[in-house]
Amino acid sequence: MAEVNEVKKETVAPDAQASKKPSFKDKKGDRKPVRREDSEFDKRVVSVRRVQKVVKGGRTLRFSALVVVGDGKGKVGIALGKAKEVSLAIEKATTMAKKSMVKVPMVDGSIPHETIGKFSSTRILMFPAPAGTGVIAGGSTRAVLELAGIKDIVTKRHGSSNKINCVKATMNGLMSMRTKEEIAARRGKSVDEI
C-alpha cells in the first residue's frame, strides 16, 4: 500500500506543478503593458503651481507644471501643462514640450556669440565661455541650458525672477543665435569673406 501511495504522489506532483505555471503566467499576462518614457530625451520639471479659477459655483483647483525636455545634443523644448492632478499636468507638458523642440546652435560646447534673451520683464544675458567653465546660471535657466547640451556658458538675469519668464527668455535668447555658417549661407558668401 505504501508503494502505491508513493507512486501516486510522484505522478500527481509533476502535473500539479505543470498546472501551476500556466496560471501564474496568465496572471502576469493580464497586466497592462507599462508605457515608458523615450530614453533619448531627458525631462526636468522646473515648477509646479496650484492655480485657481473663480466660477459661479466656487473655485476650481488645478495644477500647472512647467517642463523642459532635451536630448543633450542641441535640441530642447519647453511647455506648460495644466490638469486637475500633478502627474497629468506633467505628462501633458512633457508631450507638448517634445512637439515644440528646437535646434540650438552650439560651438565647442558653448554658444556661438553673446546674446540677450527677453520675455516680459525678464532679461537673460548669455556669454560664451572657454572649456572647463561649466554652466553658470540660475535654476530655471540652468535646466534649459543643460538639457540643450551646452557645457560652458555664463549667464546673468535682470528683471523678473519668475521661473516661467526666465525659461521663456532663455529659449528666446537661444533661438536668436546664428552660427558663422548660417550667416554666410544667408548672405551667399563664404565663411572666410565674412
Instruction: Please check whether residue 6 lies inside any domain of the structure.
Output: no
Instruction: Please check whether residue 152 lies inside any domain of the structure.
Output: yes
> For residue 55, is pLDDT > 80?
yes
pLDDT for the residue 194: 66
Summarised one tens digit per residue, pLDDT across range 134-177 is 999 988 999 999 999 999 999 999 999 999 999 999 999 999 98
Structurally, how many domains does the chain consist of? 2
Residue 113 and residue 49 share a domain: no
Judge whether 101 and 72 are in contact, CB under 8 Å: no
Q: What percentage of the chain carries pLDDT values higher than 70? A: 79
Please give the mean pLDDT across all residues of the chain. 83
**Three-state secondary-structure class, residue 91:** helix
* Nearest in space to 168 (alpha carbons), one of 43, 46, 40: 46
Instruction: Please check whether residue 16 lies inside any domain of the structure.
Output: no
Report CA 143 to chain centroid distance, whole Å.
9
Q: How confident is the model at residue 84 (pLDDT cuts 50, 70, 90)?
A: very high
- Cα separation, 103 vs 177, in Å, equals 11
Summarize the confidence of residues 4-10 as an average pLDDT.
49
pLDDT for the residue 187: 83
Q: Output the domain CATH number for residue 62.
A: 3.30.160.20
Instruction: Please check whether residue 8 lies inside any domain of the structure.
Output: no
pLDDT for the residue 22: 46
Q: Which domain holds residue 134?
A: 104-181
Residue 84 and residue 58 share a domain: yes
Residue 177 and residue 110 share a domain: yes
pTM of the entire predicted model = 0.75
